[in-house]
Amino acid sequence: DTGVSQDPRHKITKRGQNVTFRCDPISEHNRLYWYRQTLGQGPEFLTYFQNEAQLEKSRLLSDRFSAERPKGSFSTLEIQRTEQGDSAMYLCAAEGSGANVLTFGAGSRLTVL
């Protein structure tokens, strides 16, 4: 139990379909982050929230990507019109006991066929 739950763990979809991932931190965390990781690479920052406010978005986050954190608790990441290049592990992280200390969820693995 990592303290951050992600759903679904795996998603296989066809190119052009929309997908949505959900992240639930178990306890209250002010800051919530989304990262993307591909094989052989480190996690790449996508976006983060301070409570319900989305404070920063990476240039990696094209207009097909949208993230929300409507009540400052759980968050969703939606990818519209998926492309094969979107295939990756999408990691959610909550800032934990110390500043800048991130607790990651197990990730949602996306495969776009």
| Binding region for other proteins (CB under 8 A) | 2, 31, 33, 35, 40-45, 48, 56, 91, 98-102, 104-107
Q: Tell me whether residue 26 or residue 101 sits nearer to other proteins (CB atom).
A: 101
As measured in angstroms, the least distance from the Cβ of 64 to other proteins is: 21
As measured in angstroms, the least distance from the Cβ of 25 to other proteins is: 13
CB 103 within 8 A of CB 2: yes
Q: Tell me whether residue 3 or residue 80 sits nearer to other proteins (CB atom).
A: 3
Instruction: List b or e across 7-17, with b for residues whose CB sees 16 or more CB atoms inside 10 angstroms.
Output: eeeebebeeee
Q: Tell me whether residue 14 or residue 100 sits nearer to other proteins (CB atom).
A: 100
Burial class from Cβ neighbours inside 10 Å (0-12, 13-18, 19+) for residue 21 reads buried
